[in-house]
Amino acid sequence: MERGVIFVRVSKRDQDYQRQIEDLRTIAKTKGVKIVKEISEKISGIKKNIERGGLLELLNLAKNRAIDIVLVQEVSRLGRSTVEVLKVLEELSNLGVNVYVQNFGIETMKKGKRNPVAQFMFTLLAEFARLERETLRERILSGIDEARRKGKKLGRPDGTQEDKAAFLKKYPLVTRNLRLGISIRKTSKICDVSINTVRKVNDYLTP
């Protein structure tokens, strides 16, 4: 029986990954895979591989020959950067670990050999995901610029500014790191929040 890992990721802290896990558990049972570990991450997929604790745990299991297959819902769960995704796939393939991607029903390896069709598809899918994010970002920025040209006020409506204490309560880890003297940029990376949010917290904490 193959030994497998279920690997799931969501990019926002308020998102839930339980549905991903349940679906992959069903697939593992169907394929006769014994799940030895379920790894979940709540972290942006644009982070580099070395910054992702869950991914590093997965790779360590592969290096220790503890697993034969990794089950993911879609290739973007491994990361959103094309380069970083391909690095993961290459390392797992070199270690003889198969990757099964649910939404396309494809695997990186067949009978211990690399599946060239899967490798090609993953390269395209990862690149399409990157282009989609870039297009969305450009549309958002374009919309903001257009609103400004028309004189529209951006941000919260007047009289709805969030209370200082309520805002700080939403970011306890950011507050703690800043009080420990950790820099704004490093706090942003550690807590996986935007640098502007960290700056706002810092402004509130500054007498």
Taking residue 17's Cβ as centre, other Cβ atoms within 10 Å add up to: 17
Collapsing DSSP states into helix, strand and coil, what is residue 138?
helix
Task: Give tens-digit pLDDT for 76-115.
Answer: 788 767 778 888 888 999 999 999 999 888 899 888 888 8
34 CB neighbour count, 10 Å cutoff = 13
pLDDT score recorded for residue 160: 44
Per-residue pLDDT at 164 exceeds 60 = yes
Is residue 37 within 8 A of residue 56, CB to CB? The reply is no
Considering 11-15, 68-72, 102-106, 168-172, the range whose residues carry the highest mean pLDDT is 68-72
Most confident of 43-52, 146-155, 197-206: 197-206
Q: Is the pLDDT of residue 131 over 80?
A: no
pLDDT at 45 over 80: no
Distance between CA 90 and CA 108 in Å, rounded?
A: 10
Rounded mean pLDDT of the chain?
82
Q: Stretch 40-54: mean pLDDT, rounded?
A: 74
Under 8 Å between Cβ of 87 and 76: no
**Residue 33 pLDDT:** 96
Question: Average pLDDT for residues 28-55, to the nearest whole number?
Answer: 83
Higher confidence at residue 30 or residue 48? 30
Beta-sheet pairing, 98-101 with 69-72 = parallel
pLDDT of residue 85: 82
Query: In the predicted model, is pLDDT for residue 61 greater than 70?
Result: yes
Would you say 67 and 61 are in contact if contact means Cβ atoms under 8 Å apart?
yes
The confidence band for 153, taking pLDDT boundaries of 50, 70 and 90, is low
* pLDDT tens track for 182-191: 888 888 878 8
Q: Is there a contact between 95 and 63 (Cβ–Cβ < 8 Å)?
A: yes
| Mean pLDDT for the stretch of residues 39-62 | 81
Distance CA 143, CA 40 (A): 34
